[in-house]
């Protein structure tokens, strides 16, 4: 029998309390007509709730352009937002979703569920937004060695405290993947809540490009729209009870202006384009070409399984010299140094995309080889 989920039990108790006190928050789906009026369930209302003080959220040079104007719990939850949330659920198999204006905001929200005595166990290489959120919460943060499921299992077994386990599907500085299925299964058997940030996986990894969910479905998933989707914003996906709990407690959702309607429409459009397998096939061909050519040139790469293929340069001075040399010949490749990566593991963070040509990649490898030889 699986352990009792302490977060579900807490959410159920919180809902009973909030409903009895008249504090249960519910979103209302609206359609804005102009700065004065909105439509809800077929009825038109003269509204005095939006923060669109100058009436600029509608139009903006295009008759169809539209911002948001308020928090999703005031007048910011538009029918387009509802459609996008449902589309994301249909793609990933989750029950519910919440939209945010950025991935950082989305990754700050779940920590609102934590209390004193709870634990957060996070992969050592988890994104800064996850670490910052955990440090700001009342829970105790502990960071396990990168992708080390044995240590995670031991730590999960040594306490019965409600525990949130955090990792990423694809790590942004190394380009490698988490053992997604193992992590989710381990959390489920130990009664912990699993959460994956799929920012660099969604649209890229998996046979259909759907990211982490093609390997396993964590309790909570972050999708961001500023990477493969080519838009802006983010979403948290999970079971209905968990998303409802976040609607009540996540200050980044309650008190922030909603993702603009324009951006939500753009994401919906981009999701259709994301389904095109040819672009993903071109991306992976480019990744394979770069890896093969870089290996032949004697460059040191990380063991990546993504479009992020870092070239290890070593100390800070070498890393900067190589990056500056590349820039001088018209190649823009960011230099990554501590504390973003460990000391002595500076790197050039090469990111391939589907639009790069074979000649582009050949030129990059040739210039990288020359720059490394000059820098040593």
Whether 200 is a known active-site residue: answer: yes
Place of tokens 């009895």: 20
Give catalytic status of residue 148 as yes or no: no
The DSSP annotation for 116-150 comes to TT-EEEEETT--HHHHHHHHHSSSEEEEEPTT-HH
Catalytic residue status for 147: no
Name the catalytic one among 197, 198, 262, 367: 197
Active site annotation includes 124: no
Per annotation, catalytic residue among 14, 40, 51, 124: 51
Q: Which two tokens stand for residue 38?
A: 């909105």
CA 88 to centroid of chain Cα atoms: 13
Whether the CB-CB separation of 324 and 299 falls below 8 Å is answered with no
From the candidates 168, 174, 198, 244, give the one annotated as an active-site residue.
Answer: 168
Task: Name the catalytic one among 78, 81, 200, 252.
Answer: 200
Query: If we measure between CA atoms, which residue out of 221, 203, 207 comes closest to residue 307?
Result: 203
> What is the three-class DSSP state of 100?
strand
Mark whether 227 is an active-site residue.
Answer: yes
Active-site pick, 77, 78, 81, 127: 127
Decide if 172 is catalytic.
yes
The answer to whether residue 19 is catalytic is no
- Across 137-262, the runs of DSSP E, i.e. the strands, are 140-144, 163-168, 193-197, 220-224, 234-238
Q: Which of the following is catalytic: 78, 81, 227, 252?
A: 227
Backbone φ, ψ for residue 128 (5° rounding) = -55, -35
Which of these is catalytic: 102, 129, 172, 194? 172
Cα–Cα distance between 9 and 245 in angstroms, integer? 11
Contact 182, 148 (CB under 8 A): no
Catalytic residues: 51, 127, 168, 172, 197, 200, 227
């Amino acid at each position: 029998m699986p352990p009792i989920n302490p977060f579900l039990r807490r959410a159920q108790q919180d809902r009973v309390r909030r409903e009895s006190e008249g504090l249960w928050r519910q979103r209302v789906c609206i359609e804005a007509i102009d700065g004065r009026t909105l439509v809800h369930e077929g009825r038109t209302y003269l509204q005095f709730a939006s923060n669109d003080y100058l009436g600029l959220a509608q139009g903006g040079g295009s008759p169809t352009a539209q911002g948001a104007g308020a928090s999703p719990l005031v007048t910011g939850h538009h029918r387009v937002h509802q459609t996008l949330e449902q589309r994301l659920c249909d793609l990933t198999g989750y029950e519910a979703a919440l939209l945010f204006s950025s991935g950082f905001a989305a990754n700050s929200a779940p920590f609102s569920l934590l209390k004193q005595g709870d634990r957060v166990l996070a992969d050592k290489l988890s994104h800064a937004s996850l670490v910052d959120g955990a440090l700001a919460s009342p829970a105790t943060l502990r960071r396990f060695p990168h992708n080390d499921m044995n240590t995670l299992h031991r730590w999960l077994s040594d306490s019965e405290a409600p525990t949130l386990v955090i990792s990423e599907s694809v790590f942004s500085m190394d380009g490698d993947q988490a053992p997604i299925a193992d992590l989710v299964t381990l959390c489920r058997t130990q009664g912990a809540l699993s959460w994956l940030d799929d920012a660099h996986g969604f649209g890229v990894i998996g046979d259909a490009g759907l990211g982490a969910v093609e390997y396993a479905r964590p309790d909570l998933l972050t999708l961001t729209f500023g990477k493969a989707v080519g838009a802006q914003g983010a979403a948290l996906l999970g079971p209905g009870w968990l998303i409802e709990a976040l609607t009540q407690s996540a200050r980044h959702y309650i008190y922030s202006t909603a993702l603009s309607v324009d951006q939500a429409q753009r994401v919906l459009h981009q999701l259709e384009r994301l389904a095109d397998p040819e672009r993903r096939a071109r991306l992976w061909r480019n990744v394979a070409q770069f890896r093969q050519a870089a290996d032949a040139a004697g460059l040191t790469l990380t063991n990546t399984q993504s479009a992020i293929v870092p070239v290890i340069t070593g100390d800070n001075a070498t890393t900067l010299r190589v990056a500056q040399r590349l820039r001088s010949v018209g190649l823009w490749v960011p230099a990554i140094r501590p504390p973003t990566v460990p000391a002595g593991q500076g790197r050039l963070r090469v990111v391939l995309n589907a639009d790069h040509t074979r000649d582009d990649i050949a030129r990059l490898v040739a210039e990288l080889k020359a720059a490394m030889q000059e820098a040593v």
